[in-house]
Amino acid sequence: MIEIRTTDITKLDQILNLSDIYNLKIGLGSESCVYKLPTLDQIRKIANTIEHLSVITPITPQKHYEEMLKFIKALPSSIRLVVNDMGILYSLHNSNSTNNFYQIAAGRGIVHTSEACPWVEHLLRDESDIIKEAFLKTNLNYTRTFDLITGLGISAIETDMESNTVKAAVALGLPTAAHLEFIAVAYARSCHTSRFYNEKPPDCTSRCNTLIKLQLADMFDLSGTPPGFAQPDQKMKEIFPTLYLLGNIIFMKSKCREFQGLERIIVNADMYEPEKLPQIIETLTKKSKQSQY
């Protein structure tokens, strides 16, 4: 199963068209920004025509907490709710609201993986196989954490498509979804995109519908007198990958196509140019049919 999702409601017509052609699931919402959510009316209208629409809710600052809870509780019961904030999940559980939806999935804001670190190979190069195996699991691959999450109502998980991460996530026994190609490296409390354009939310929301490429240009050098910025050497440039900024999340690309055991593959339409999206979906559809996932 393939799910195509976006934070940009203006892309909905293209997504609906691709869904009709390739029998895709659809997801709307944001992992990290309260200002990038569709309205309740928009969600209700789409949910009436789409089976088990995924609605993605973000990591939520305290000042938006009550508003976000109210928003979630007003969502249609037919949706697949993706929660990325532990506090929100806890409050939904405490208010007996976790049984109000078709399914509640823990998103990448809750399911973390150390394999998403850009220099994970260098961190682990001198470690034993036992340490490497433990390090490259998700944070839910520990009994107490898993019991806590499932006890709060989680019945599915989402994670990054990295080989060890997918295997560890699938081993948990819950329906598992993995994000194709772009894996989440870091979330910012203070939005990089907003600060770059010097626009305060929500005025900046149109800025995070397309990727910004990030490459290492300067490093902070503590050995200088006085300390300051310095040019990275060639070795450091080779270690540091190209990163991508979308909103307040930093991503890097992964070549992993580990489909085995997955319940669904997630394609974020915001990561691609609209004209290239149909070919990406067509190629992925063919590859996924060849794999038993």
pLDDT in tens, 42-87: 999 999 999 999 999 999 999 999 999 999 999 999 999 999 999 9
Q: How far, in Å, are 187, 190, 232, 233 from residue 219 at the CA level?
A: 20, 21, 6, 10
Assign 195 to helix, strand or coil. helix
Angle between helices 86-94 and 65-73 (to 10 degrees): 60
What span, in angstroms and rounded, lies between the C-alpha atoms of 81 and 104? 5
Residue 192: C-alpha distances to residues 203, 207, 208, 244, 246 (Å) = 14, 11, 10, 11, 9
**Listing from the earlier edge strand, what are the strands of the sheet with 243-246?**
182-187, 249-253, 243-246, 212-214
> pLDDT tens digit string along 178-222?
999 999 999 988 899 999 999 999 999 999 888 999 988 888 887
**What are the tokens at 101?**
């939806």
Q: Record the pTM.
A: 0.93
Gyration radius from the chain CA atoms: 19
The residues, ordered by sequence, that sit 6+ positions from 36 with a Cβ below 8 Å of its Cβ are: 7, 29, 30, 58, 205, 208, 247
- Of the candidates 141, 132, 130, 145, which has an alpha carbon nearest to the alpha carbon of residue 166? 141
pLDDT averaged over every residue in the chain: 93
Tell me, which fold does domain 2-183+254-290 have in CATH? TIM Barrel (3.20.20)
253 DSSP 8-state letter: E
Higher pLDDT, 149 or 292: 149
Confidence label for 292 from pLDDT (cuts 50, 70 and 90): low
Residue at token pair 């902070």: 220
Kindly give, in sequence order, each residue whose CB lies less than 8 Å from that of residue 246, ignoring residues fewer than 6 positions away: 193, 208, 210, 211, 212, 270, 271
- Please write the tens of the pLDDT for every residue from 3-27: 999 999 999 999 999 999 999 999 9
Place of tokens 């997801």: 27
In the chain, what percentage of residues exceed pLDDT 70?
99
Q: What is the mean pLDDT of residues 220-242?
A: 82
User: Of all helices (H) and strands (E), which one includes residue 55?
Assistant: strand 54-57
For the chain, domain boundaries: 2-183+254-290
- The answer, yes or no, to whether the previous bond of 226 is cis (omega within 30 of 0) is yes
234, two tokens: 């060639």
Backbone angles phi, psi at 101, to 5 degrees: -130, 160
In this prediction, residues 277-290 reach a mean pLDDT of: 89
